[in-house]
Each structure stands twice: as C-alpha cells, then as structure tokens.
Structure 1
Amino acid sequence: MRTELDTDDEDSASELRLSRQSSKRRRNTLRSDVSRARPSSSPDGGWPFRKELLGLLECDVCAMLLHEPMTTPCQHSFCGKCLSRTLDHSSRCPLCRQDLPSFAFFQDHAVNKVLLMTLKTAFPDEYAERTATIERDERDARLDTPIFVCTLAFPGMPTILHVFEPRYRLMIRRCIESSSPRFGMVLPSRAAAEPGSGVMEYGTMLEIQSVQMLPDGRSMVETVGTHRFKLLEKGNLDGYTVGRIERIDDVSPAEELAMEQEIIQRARQARPTTEEYMAMCRSFIEQLRSGSAPWLLQRLNNTYGSMPDDPSEFSYWMALVMPIDEYEKARLLPIRSPRLRLKLIVHWVESLRSSWW
C-alpha cells in the first residue's frame, strides 16, 4: 500500500527532475542562440537573434548587461555585485523571492562560466565597455573618503566595529577591495534630528586591521586610528557619507616648546609643563586604581591597552578611559598641541574630583 509519505517523495523527485530538465533545455537553447548569433559574412552581420539574446543576458537588478554573472539555486542570474548588494538588504532572490543560502555561499562560488563565456563570445565589445564603465565608477568612488558616522575614535587607539547596516556593509567591502583599506570615523552631529542628517566636523581615519565576515553578511571589523582630519566637504554615495578631508597633525616638538615658553613669558609666572600635566593625570588614574573604581579601570585597560608614554597618544588614552560625554571628548580632535589637550583633560579631572569628592 502506498503511503502519503511515499507520494510526497515521488512528487519531490518529479519536481527535481523537471527542474533539471528545464535548466538543461535553457542551457542548450542559450548555446544554440550563441552559435547562431556569431557574426557571419552575410550583409546584416548574421545577428538575427541579437536583440532577443541581449534581453536574456540582462541583469534584472540593474537592467544592464550582466557582469561577472552569478546564478542562484533558483536559476536566476544577476551581476555579481548586484547580487551582493541585494543580499545586504534581503536574503531572498530579487526575482522570485525564494530564500537564498547564506552570504558565505556566494563568496565561495565562482561566476557562472557558461554565461561569462556567452557574454564574451557573443558580445565582446559590449562586455568590455560594461567592464570599463564599472571600473571607472569604482575608481571615481574611491577618490572620495568614505565616512562612517558612528562613534568617537582617536589616533593610535583601537576601535572594533560591528557592521550590519546595508550601506556600511557595502562601504567596508569597497574599502577592503581598495589599495588603502581605511575610512574616516566621525560622530553624528549633536543637533541632528535623525541619524545621518548631520555629522561632526572633525574625525579620525581608521585603518582596517582585520575583518571577520559572518555567514549572513554582517562583519566584525578591527581597526586602529592613524590620524585626525577636518571634513571640508561631504556628499553621499550609495547611502553612506563620503567627503573631502584635510589631514590634521600635531605641531612639532620645537614648536610646542616655543609655544610653552611664550605662554610662560606672557603670564610672567610658571605654568604646568607637559610632564606635570601628565603627572596629574597619572595621579588621577592611580586614585581610581587604588579603590575608587578598580573594576572600571581594569575593563578599560583590557579594551584600550596599557597607558602610553608618548604625550600625544597619552591624551587620547586618557580621554577614552574617562567617564565623560563623547561630544566633550571630541573637543580634543581639532587641538594640534599635546600640551593643550592635556590641559583640557586636567580640567576634566578637576571637575570630576570636585563632583565625586
């Protein structure tokens, strides 16, 4: 006696056979069309199926000629980059809405070689032009600095990011593929009514150290700050911010010493030196370590590393471990003098001490 389960298995097997037969017929038809579409010596060039074949070889996402085509398990083909973009937003096929495998599946699978051969054989000029256009657009896009509007970062300090928004997933992919895998990090404007409507003027360039891609397309990105910048002009590229920036570096040690001596001469009294400011900060840290908040300091040390000796990096490290508002900390970014940054930090230390004790 045939059971209902046996019937279901037979139906599934029948559907699978039909799907394979349909795919085989489509491949045979495509090969036949290619052979008939090749140029001949006839006056019309021998392209009677050119328009029809071009329609078959268009991407249903960008409506242009397929480029590095990839075919989904549901037998729909798209440009490789178009498919990656759609997977940033949804895990379903853009055409039939069938669930697709994880993002990692398409990373491990090469382009559809049959389609690629068809494109290069039947339409060599069009495919070369399409490739040149994509390369030109990508090159133009890399002329601008990608900007991640998220959190506060400082030079020399590590920053670990969890990237999940589609626009930033695209941005990180482009950064990795570029010759210089880095991007700018700025805070959103404090006065911004909604995310993305405004950004702070100063930020820090982050260099990508490593990227861990997760199966669903999200990623964990490990970065370290390299230098500060001023955002001179900003725009938008595929949903994320890009800009023209101006690098900001500290003054030289000789200029710093001259500034310090000039301040002392003007005031006609001794002012704290850079080392004295650093000593005040170390005293505050020791006070926290001795019992005020040892658990907090241990957690922050594990995150940002041990206390640096260089005055420039020391000021950023102190800012990161201090429990104050990020927008207040961002006031350090435009200051080019390590001594003046330490002076501001000492002001924060004194304010905290007066409020705590």
Structure 2
Amino acid sequence: MDPSRVITFLCPAPDATSLRLCRAEAFTALGQHPQALEDLDAVCRAEPGQHEGFFRKGKVLLEMGQRAEALLVLEHCLTLNPNFHPARKEMEKILMQEDAPQASLCTVAARPGDTHQGSTGPQVDGGSPVLPSSAQAQEEEPTDGRGDAGSEHSQGTATLSQPGQEEEPEATAERQGQWLVDNEEETTGAKCTQPCWELLSVSDMECSLCIRMFFEPVTTPCGHTFCKECLERCLDHRPNCPLCKQSLREYLKAGNYNPTVLLQDIILATFPSELAERRDLHQAEMAELSNLTKNIPIFVCTMSFPGIACPLHVFEPRYRLMIRRCQETGTRRFGMCIYEHGKSFADYGCMLEIRQIELLADGRSLVDTIGRRRFRVLSRGHRDGYNTADIEYLEDRKVAGEELQELQCLHESTYRLAQQFCEHQDLASRHILMQHGPLPEKEEDIQASADGPTWCWWLISILPLDPSYQLNLFSTTSLRARLTQLQRILATLLQQPPEHSPWGRV
C-alpha cells in the first residue's frame, strides 16, 4: 500500500512537518529510501533549527550505505542538540567500524588537549559543523547542582577523559553505549508523548458529505473516508465514490463497511469531547427515529393487514434508506399505506415488522415483513425523501354479555362459510391459496387481539375486493360490522357458479 495513502485521512495538509516525518518512517519501513529521503530533505529545509529531521535523515542515509554522508548529517544534528543521545549512539556505531569514513575528524568522547574553535567547532570538508567535545558541552551546561540527564552525561564523559584516567576508545564507547541503552526506552517514551497528529484540528476530521465530525468512519478502496451512514446513502443512488467517482460496485456487492480503526483511535485520543458530542447527537437522532407514533416512516405501496405476510422488493433510494434506518434503530417497523389521490397516502395503514432481509449485489433488497397493528394517520410529513406520519393505533371495541354471545355465533357461522369458500375447486382460487397459505385456525378468544381474529384479515387480503372497500373494512373498529360484511360477500360468492364468479376473474 502506498504510504502516502496511509495518512491521507489524517490531515488535509500533506506538507506538514509531522506528517512528512510519519510518511518518511513508512517509506523507510517499506525499503523505499529515496522517497523517505525526499520527505526528510523537505523537513530539514522547513525547520533547519530542529534536530529531529537531521537525525532521521542520517539514519536513512546509513541504511542506504552512505556512511560518510550520514556521519556529517548526524554531526549537524548534534550541533543543534548536543545532548541528543540517539544521534551520538549512531555516530559511535559508524566510528567503531574498521572501515569507518575518514571524512570526519571528530570523536564522540573528549580527549586531553582538545581545543575549542567556537561554539560549533571546526568545519569538515566545508560541510556541517563538527561535533563539539564533551568538555565543551560540560562548560555550556548549568553548574548550579541541578542534575538533569544531559548534565550528568556530560560530566560523566568529561570524567572519563581526565589525565591519568584515560581509557581506551573502545572502553569509553562501550561505557557510553551502555548508558544510552539504559536510557533509550525513556527517550523513546518521551518522544511518543508528542503524536504526529498533534497539529490536527476538528475541521480536519469532518466528513465531506455531512460536514460533521466522522462517526463510524469507513474508507473506500479508492482511499476516501466518509461516515458510514453518509456513504451508504450515496451508494443508494449511485455505486460510485462521491469524490473521485470511481466505481464501487464490488465494494457495494461485498456490503462489508468495516470501520477505519486507526482514524477512530485518533479521533478518540485527540478530540474526546467533540466525539462524545457527536455520539450524543447520533443517539438523539436514533431516539427520534425509534418513536413509533411520531414521524414514523410510511411506505406507500399496497394494502397490508395484521398478522398477514407482506413481501416487498425495495429498490428506490428513499426506501432503501428507510429500511436501513428501521434496522439500525432496532424497531424494525414502518407503516404501510396505499396511495390516495390528494393526500399522498390513505388515512389508515398497517404497521409492518421486518422479519428478514436479503440484500442483492446492486443494493436492492427483498424484505420479508408481517403486519402488526392498524393505525390512523393524524398528520403527514417528510424526511429525507420518504413520507412520515404521526399516528394513533386502532383497537376493536370490546363487548360483553349477550352481545358477546351473539358475536360468537356470528363468528362461528362466518368462519364456516370461509372454510366452504376455501374448498372451492376453481383453479384460480387454488393458485391464490397456494400463494397466501391456508386459512388460519379459528381463535378461541375472538377479542384477544386489538385487531380481531387473524383469519378475517387473511380472507380480506385474498378476496377480489376493490381497495377502497378493503380500506373501509380495515378502518372499522367493530368486529360485528366486519364479520357481517364478510358473511354477505362469502354468501354471494358461494351462490354464483365459478365461471360467473368475480373470484374466477382474479
């Protein structure tokens, strides 16, 4: 993977020093040293007084086998920060080799008789200043007794170089190297406290689609990052990247929108309060979408009934979004109404519950739903292209005493007529029965459900009735009135020969 893409989503400013340092590390890890050197050269030019860029440049040159050049760059790094121990350690490694470069005359430890020629030391071959001696470094350190790590190391080096206690160069380097090893972990830890994304701002973490902080960010194969919900909404309309227009058909077909974990961690570490605010806003939106009486989504399509399956083929972008939101909120429910001229949709509908969804490769879906509760529309609205409504649920009126006994008798007689109708030998009716399933069993308690016996709705769904008449039966809250109408319709259909029956023309 191209390392430049690795940090593309971190910050929109590719020439930022911290990001160039990160990219140089990535290039180095991949063995792409010329590219790493190019980034480090830019860093050194941009910040000539900072030692970090020169140190990393020296290490890259060393890995490329250019030891003389690496030595000069490391020497310059130490002139900028004489107590930067990692650079001193790298120079020791170079100078201890048998075929060490002869271009430099410096030594890591001071020797008796060293002379000082200014604060930066003598020049080597017209290049970078030579490493100052340790004795010189000691003079430049405070002598008020405050023992920071840098002054302790300078004093220790000068002690090793006192007359009469001079050690071999190998021993000196070995002791200094051991000190560096003991403190390398501490030095590395101090560097890691300043992450490369410390210069990021909240605007750098905004989704280019919703202009808000990334929430559940996902990165496309073409390298662009969006909020998961924003990307899904775009792919509902067209299977292309919203920015570069590259085809994302295979990405859409896989349907696997894995979050960009690194970006999530960066946002959490850098902007925890803003992320918490963004999360609260998302939860508030989900809570609003979860309300099953206010602004519920309305699918304007066909008649549906309580307890009866209603398979759907969803392909319009607005309904793809609607179904996805029903899934994400956890309600798995939406309203179904038929179209009514002048009102967008009818005044009555049925709440459907999603049982199963089969996603197709092009983003369409086959949705298996079942009817749950009837409702009456109180007010209409819109959200992101689809209809919404405030509703109240319908419930059949309860009866008792003699009225309940009469209702039971009416229920029994109507159910027998329904059984006779289902035994009709007409081929068209048999085909419809196969499609909708058999007549449901008769309930013992006819008032147990708020919508009445399920078999009544099953019968209404298969009878050759005009939608307006179906809606009239649907909206009534009297089980007696509904059973009376069904009894009259069934008696009429059973009295007619099959060739003259309106059922035969369905």
> TM range, normalised to the smaller chain?
0.7 to 0.9
Matched, 1:275 2:420: no
Q: CA RMSD in A?
A: 3.1
Query: Could you list the per-position Cα deviations for residues 62-105 of structure 1 after superposition, in whole angstroms to 9, with x for gaps in the alignment?
Result: 12222221111111111111001111111011111110134243
* TM-score normalised to structure 1 length: 0.76
Matched, 1:258 2:403: yes
Matched, 1:297 2:440: no
**Which 10-residue stretch deviates more, 81-90 or 232-241?**
232-241
Aligned residues: 306
State the SS of the aligned residue for 2:286.
Answer: helix
Aligned to 1:103: 252
Q: Is the 8 A contact 1:315 1:338 kept in 2?
A: no
Query: Could you list the per-position Cα deviations for residues 22-67 of structure 1 after superposition, in whole angstroms to 9, with x for gaps in the alignment?
Result: 324647868935999xxxxxxxxxx9944xx444322111122222
Matches within 5 A, 1:1-357: 20-24=2-6, 26=8, 32=18, 49-50=199-200, 53-100=201-248, 101-105=250-254, 107-143=255-291, 144=294, 145-189=296-340, 191-192=341-342, 198-252=344-398, 254=400, 258=403, 273-286=410-423, 289-290=424-425, 293-294=426-427, 296-308=428-440, 309-310=442-443, 312-349=453-490, 356=500
Cα pair distance change 1:120/1:188, threshold 3 Å: same
CA distance in 1, matches of 2:268, 2:214: 11
Cα pair distance change 1:165/1:244, threshold 3 Å: same
CA distance in 2, matches of 1:139, 1:185: 21
Once the two structures are TM-superposed, the CA of residue 345 in structure 1 deviates from its matched residue by 2.6
Once the two structures are TM-superposed, the CA of residue 217 in structure 1 deviates from its matched residue by 1.9
Cα pair distance change 1:345/1:25, threshold 3 Å: closer
Query: Could you list the per-position Cα deviations for residues 178-231 of structure 1 after superposition, in whole angstroms to 9, with x for gaps in the alignment?
Result: 233211111111x24xxxx61111111112211112222221111111221111
Q: Is the 8 A contact 1:34 1:118 kept in 2?
A: no
State the SS of the aligned residue for 2:2.
Answer: helix
Once the two structures are TM-superposed, the CA of residue 177 in structure 1 deviates from its matched residue by 2.1
State the SS of the aligned residue for 1:320.
Answer: helix
Letter of the aligned partner of 1:199 in structure 2? F
Once the two structures are TM-superposed, the CA of residue 244 in structure 1 deviates from its matched residue by 2.0
CA distance in 2, matches of 1:34, 1:298: 74
Instruction: Name the structure with the higher strand share.
Output: 1
The runs of 5 or more residues in structure 2 that have no matched partner are: 23-196, 447-452, 502-506
Letter of the aligned partner of 2:430 in structure 1? Q
State the SS of the aligned residue for 2:304.
Answer: coil
Rg larger in structure? 2
CA distance in 1, matches of 2:301, 2:359: 20
Q: Is the 8 A contact 2:303 2:336 kept in 1?
A: yes
The runs of 5 or more residues in structure 1 that have no matched partner are: 1-18, 37-46, 263-271
Bigger relative contact order, structure 1 or 2, given CA contacts below 8 A and separation 6+? 1
Cα pair distance change 1:34/1:214, threshold 3 Å: farther
**Which 10-residue stretch deviates more, 148-157 or 20-29?**
20-29
CA distance in 1, matches of 2:5, 2:480: 71
Letter of the aligned partner of 2:241 in structure 1? C
Cα pair distance change 1:155/1:27, threshold 3 Å: closer
CA distance in 1, matches of 2:17, 2:221: 20
* TM-score normalised to structure 2 length: 0.55
Once the two structures are TM-superposed, the CA of residue 20 in structure 1 deviates from its matched residue by 2.0
**Which 10-residue stretch deviates more, 23-32 or 335-344?**
23-32
Q: Is the 8 A contact 1:229 1:248 kept in 2?
A: yes
Q: Is the 8 A contact 1:102 1:215 kept in 2?
A: no
Once the two structures are TM-superposed, the CA of residue 150 in structure 1 deviates from its matched residue by 1.1
State the SS of the aligned residue for 1:226.
Answer: strand
Once the two structures are TM-superposed, the CA of residue 253 in structure 1 deviates from its matched residue by 5.3
Cα pair distance change 1:31/1:340, threshold 3 Å: farther
Letter of the aligned partner of 1:305 in structure 2? G
Aligned to 1:267: none
